[in-house]
Structures are given as C-alpha cells and as structure tokens.
Amino acid sequence: MLQAGDASNAAAVCDEALAEFANDANILCLSARCLLALKRFDESRLRVEKALQLFPSFALAHEVYGDLFFVLGNLELAIKKYQTAQRLDPRRAETGIRLNQAEVALASQKTADGASLKARQRGAFQEEMLRAAEHEKQGEPAKAEQVYREILAKDPDHVESARLLAAIAVKHQMYRDAEVFLQRVVENAPDYARAWVDLSNVQHEQEKHAEAIYAAEQVLRLMPNAAESHMLMANALGQAGRLDESIESYRRALKFAPSHPGVLSGLGHRLKTVGKQDESIAIYRQCLAANPLHTEAYWSLANLKTFRFKDEEVAAMEALLTDEGLSDENRVYVHNALGLEYEGRRDYDEAFMNFSTGNGIRRKSESYDPVDAEVINEAMIKRFSKEYFEQNQGNGLTDASPIFVVGLPRSGSTLIEQILASHSEVEGTHELGDLPRVVRAIPKVGKRNQRFPDSLEGLGPNSWANLGKQYIERTRKFRTDRPYFIDKNPNNFIYAGLLKLMLPNAKIINARRHPLDSCFGSYKQLFASGQPFTYDLVELGDYYLNYQKLMDHWHEVLPGHVLDVQYENVVADLETEVRRILEYCQLPFEDSCLRFHETDRAVKTASSEQVRQPIYSSSVNLWRNYENHLDLLIDTLEPLLVKLPADQRPTKIVADK
C-alpha cells in the first residue's frame, strides 16, 4: 500500500498489527515511514524511537530516523543516522542511496550553484539510481555499472553515478580509474564529503600519501565534528609514516565518539606500532568493554604475541563462538585469538583445533589457485636462465642503496630487518609494495592480459635501468638521508632475478627457517590481507616447495647474489650471523646491531613486539608441539624434510628412513 502511494491505509494496517505485536521493530519502522509520508512527524518520531529503545543496534530503525531528519531538513543529523545504519548493516544498498542523497543535498547547499545541483541530483535519475542499487544488492555489478554509465551519458556532471562507478572500480582494484571518477566528482561538488572520503581512500591504495592527506583535510573542513573525519585523517597520516600525528588524530576522534570500535582499534594498532604496548592493550580492552562483539580487538591483543588473556576473557570468547549469529569474519578472529592463547598455555591440541577451524572458515573467502602459482613459478625459472642473464646483464641502474629482505612469512625477516635498521647507515622502512607495482606497470607488448614474467618480452637494453629508476623514485618518500634502506616485503623473493638486471648492486637477503616452523608459523598467523596460501596445510606445503625450488634456481644461476640467513643460526650465535649479514651488505660492524631490541622505531609486522626483546629460542622447533596434527603438511614437505639431519626431521620420517 505504501509503495502504491496509499500511505493512509498503510498506516492503518500498521496500527492493527501493532495492537497485537506492539514491540515488533519492523512494524514500528514501517509505521514510522507511513506516518512520515502523511507528514505526521511527531508520531513518526515516537514510532522509530520506540524501535531504537527496544533494539538500539537495529540498522533499519536508524535509517528511518535518517529519513525523518532528511524530510525535516536536518541533513547533518540525517547523515549521521544513515552512517550508523550503514555501519550496522553495510550490505543494505538502500541505506547507501539515502546517505548519498543526504550528502549531495548538504553539499549543494554550500556551493554557489547549489540550487541547480540540488535539483539535478535529487530530482533526476532517481528511478535509475534505485534500479542500479537493486542490481548491486542482487550481486550484478555489471548491470549497475551500465546504468551509471547511461546516466553519465545523459548528464556528464551527475556526481552520484560517477562516485558509484568509482566504487565499482575499487572492487576491481582499478584505483587509478576510481581516482579519475572521484576527481571529477569533487570538481563538480567540492563540498561533497563522501566523495572526498572515497578519494582519500583510493589515493591511499596508490600510496599517494600527500594527496590522501589533502583529501582528508577537505573532509575535516566539511565535517569537523565527526569522528569518521578524524579517523580518515589518522589513517592517511599513519600510512604516510607520520605516526605521532596519526595517534593524535585518533585521540581527537575519540572526543566525538568515545566508544567507536574503528577509532579504538586504529589507535591501538598505532600505539602498538610505535612500541607503546601497555597503552595499546588498554585501548583494545576499552574497545571490547564498549563493543563486546568487535572481536578484532581480541585478535589484536593475541597478535601482540607477548600478551596473555585473563580466564574471564577466554570464557567470553568461547561464549561468542556459541552465538549462531556471529559472522564468519568475527568467528575467525576469535578462533585465532584462542589458538594463540591456548598455545601460550601449552594446550597445543586446543590451540590447533582453533587454528584449523578458523583457517577453514577464512579459506572460503580467499581466492587462491595453487596450480596457477606453480605455473608462474615454472615460467620464472624458464625465463630467467643463465643465457637470459648473459644477454641482458650490464644495463641496470648501479644504485646500491636497497637491501631486500625476502622469504616466506614468519621466517625471521622482521628480526633481520630490525638488526639492519639498528645500523647507523641503514633506513628501516617496512614491507613496501613498490616493486610489485613497478612490475605491474611494465608495458605489455604481447597479449593484453600478459603477466610477469612474460611481460618482460621485448624489453630493450635501456629498460632495465628505467625500471631501477622507477623503483628508486617510488621509494624515496620512505627514506631520509641514510645511504641504504630496507625493503622487507617477503614476497619479493620471486623478483630476485629481475632485481639482478634492474638493480645489480642491490643486496638480497633470504630469511630461512625450518620448513615446518616456517609453514606452521604462517598457518597460525591471521594476515590482514594477502598470503592466501597460508590457510590450508597442503597448499601451504606446496607453496613452500615452489619457493624452495625458485630459491635453488636463483642460487644456481646467480651464485653468491642472494644471502641465505637461517633463523635458528641467528638465535644460536647472534654475533656471528650479524657480522656475516653486515659483511655481505658491505657495512662496517656496529655493536648496536647486537642490541637491536633497543632500537626505537615503528614496526608494522606481526613480530613487532617480539623484535623489541633480546634474542630468544622459544620459537625454535615449535612445530614439534603440533607434530601429531601436521601429517598433511609433513607428507607434502617430505622431499625437503628427508634431506635434513635426523634430529630435525619429524618422527614419522625418521622412522620411515
């Protein structure tokens, strides 16, 4: 009835239903909408406020409240209500449409051509926009994209269709395309805060830090009293390495939203990164006290690696797992946190059960093809032959400043980085994504979808130095005046051959660890993104075999170019290994490298708290505690494990051999 325009009879039906089901939140919200259509605003408010009193986290009620404020002309309050509704139920497309309309309306009030923009955006194409939203809700983004493009063909300045096209581009990781759309949006609607938010985020994805900060400044200009504005700025500053300023921005955000889970988590992460562990723990616990279902905070605490939960906190996590309504993402956080806690309590069976259950859930959301990974590995070995190096050597950039620390995750790369970053001539950065971006930008001369290393076809002699220059220029923003810097992206091991040609004087250190410790260390680590091969023991083992095969190839065709550093050797004889590392890097010995744990610097990886301690051996042979659960991994890695000394092999392989 309401959709047909008969609001009066629709309201009457709701009244009848409420007489029997007075506390039904859906009926209360529908009644509020009917009354809103009838312009009975006070009655509408009473209905929606009752729904929120009964169910404070009901997203639809916040959305209807936003509708009420929108109609009454209070756009800022409408936006806040829509934002709350969207945070509570991000999958509801209608909320996004309403939020966009409110933000455009608010922006139009503040621009010189506000009247025409307001009329165009609110009055035109609403049917098309709702149809596109329905396509997105039904999982048909291509159809939604077509609708948005049809709108832009009729009105090139239609800001909302351009912004939503940018959102589709982001889903496909086409960040440059998204940025182009959003730049056009903010040119047409410079006071459209949501567009500036999106623009800052896509610029962050491209590591355009200065631009992302500028966009965040525009959001603060438009919405200075919104916690989300300060949170956006905090994130932009943090990604630019301005960590102290980032922390202050998070603290300002808390003044406007003291219990906001995103703000509290972000602040906790930043405090952890700069080594303020006690403060970060307090903030994570504050987050849980205010938001018991924000399970990422449990994982963040466990991920400190040096932290232990109280018994009542463990009980709270176990209770959460019995809630059938708990989302898969939150369930994974809880399982991983419990796994790490039970490991700390030496209950390895319970720990493995949690790691395994959580990883099984996480694997379903990861896109990874082990066959494709092996194909790429073989293509790398075939491309980078001895003959290929002989044909292309001598054309690279002679810059010797980069030191690459590569390997598999959880193999000691952060420890090596911390040792080197403790040297007066070496800049410690973090896991940089610049080398992969340089590789992706190599012009395609063959098929359009050509991938590395096939994309190297047709590169001329000058191309190698140009690739080196691109990398050096891209990474300059992370450096000060020190002559050397570290790029600790472990996945760069696949580019060792490429680096020999584009930056022949760069150093490459391969962090190694016992295969089972390396693999299981990755298996129990919940990565924020990337490393999709780590959530299944067989896939993990296969990936390790491919890694080892490629590293063996680099040693064969580039003897002496890559330095292997065994984690267990560093633990057993720190000074000998430190001297060996420094000698390879052609750096003078400095005693500070032995006291790496005293170095005050930001560390972003999962090992951040561990490398702030003196060297310890408790992580060596940790896999033995889980040996009876690792048959699948042991069977997969057997070709490597049989080559180890007998005392380093699993029991089943020692017995078999």
User: Which tens digit of pLDDT belongs to each residue from 247-284?
Assistant: 999 999 998 888 888 889 999 999 988 888 899 999 99
Residue-level pLDDT at 162: 87
pLDDT tens digits for range 414-452: 899 989 999 999 998 878 889 998 998 887 765 666 788
Q: What percent of the chain has pLDDT over 90?
A: 53
DSSP-based three-state secondary structure for 433: coil
With respect to residue 549, please indicate whether it lies within any of the assigned structural domains: yes
Check pLDDT > 80 for residue 529: no
Q: What total of structural domains would you count in the chain?
A: 1
505 CB burial (10 A radius; 0-12, 13-18, 19+): middle
Check pLDDT > 60 for residue 111: no
With respect to residue 480, please indicate whether it lies within any of the assigned structural domains: yes
User: Does pTM top 0.85 for this prediction?
Assistant: no
User: Largest Cα–Cα distance in the chain?
Assistant: 86
Q: Is residue 526 within 8 Å of residue 425, measured between CB atoms?
A: no
Helix ranges restricted to H, 110-154: 114-123, 126-137, 141-154
Residue-level pLDDT at 193: 84
With respect to residue 36, please indicate whether it lies within any of the assigned structural domains: no
With respect to residue 61, please indicate whether it lies within any of the assigned structural domains: no
With respect to residue 588, please indicate whether it lies within any of the assigned structural domains: yes
Tokens for 152?
A: 């832009």
298 CB burial (10 A radius; 0-12, 13-18, 19+): buried
With respect to residue 337, please indicate whether it lies within any of the assigned structural domains: no
Given phi > 0 = left and psi -120 to 50 = alpha, else beta, which region is 39? left
pLDDT tens digits for range 578-604: 999 999 999 999 999 998 877 654 444
- Domain harbouring 586, CATH code: 3.40.50.300
d(CA 422, CA 13): 73
Q: What percent of the chain has pLDDT over 70?
A: 92
Residue-level pLDDT at 614: 58
∠ CA 205-211-213 to the nearest 5 degrees?
A: 90
d(CA 247, CA 469): 34
Residue-level pLDDT at 120: 45
Give the pLDDT band of residue 367 (cuts 50, 70, 90). confident
Check pLDDT > 50 for residue 89: yes
With respect to residue 516, please indicate whether it lies within any of the assigned structural domains: yes
d(CA 435, CA 47): 57
Q: Find the distance separating the first CA and the last CA of the chain, reported in whole Å.
A: 78
pLDDT, averaged across the chain: 87
Range of the structural domain that residue 396 is part of: 370-604
With respect to residue 413, please indicate whether it lies within any of the assigned structural domains: yes
